[in-house]
Amino acid sequence: MMVPILFFAGFFLLAFVVWCLQTYNRFIRYRNNIEEAWSSIDVALKRRFNLIPNLIRAIQGYSQHEAQLLGTIDEAMPRPTAKAHRAEEESQISQSLTGLLALAEAYPDLKASANFAALQNTLDEVEEDIQKARNRYNRYVGKLNTLVESFPAAVIARKFGFEKQNYFTLDLATQREMPAVDFSTSRGERG
């Protein structure tokens, strides 16, 4: 009678140890995936950062009034900072880039320039890369956060210091907002 109880106790102990190891390894895998995805975001953001001076130079010759705006954008360029503050800084740059692209719309000669068109296409590609990397990053953050909050994995998380991560959100400069449509005017009111 004692042997089967010891056998089952040993089996459950072994199963528990295997589960703990697998759960710990999942935490490590998710953490590494998050770091890899962040690296992809960082590379794409640096590509965008390196593209901005070329966009500024392309627009600079078209108006002295806008030179002040361009100087403001140049001052807003990010300096190396922690990941936590990066989203805020990059959002400011996206807003500045949106203004810069809106400014370019006022100059038909600039929009027709092959150089500016190539720069704008490159910016579109870079921002698409940022969006894909951000989505991948946030997917892994979601998996890690779910595991950190799930019981009994939460016990392993607390024991080894795994914590919830923040999602990375960023409005891109090339994202176009849908135009506002007013449906308040009925067909009968039109003449």
* Domain range list for the chain: 28-174
- What number of residues does the chain have? 191
Place of tokens 């072994």: 14
Confidence of residue 24 (pLDDT cuts 50, 70, 90): very high
**DSSP alpha helix (H) spans, the chain:** 2-60, 65-75, 83-105, 108-112, 114-149, 153-160
pLDDT at 148: 94
Query: How far is Cα 162 from Cα 176, in angstroms, rounded to an integer?
Result: 38
Type of residue found at 100: L
Better pLDDT: 107 or 90: 90
**Chain-centre distance for alpha carbon 18:** 35
Peptide bond before residue 53 is cis, with ω within 30 degrees of 0? no
Does the structural domain 28-174 have CATH classification 3.40.50.300? Answer: no
Query: How far is Cα 18 from Cα 170, in angstroms, rounded to an integer?
Result: 40
Type of residue found at 28: I
Type of residue found at 117: A
pLDDT higher than 80, residue 163: yes
pLDDT higher than 70, residue 80: no
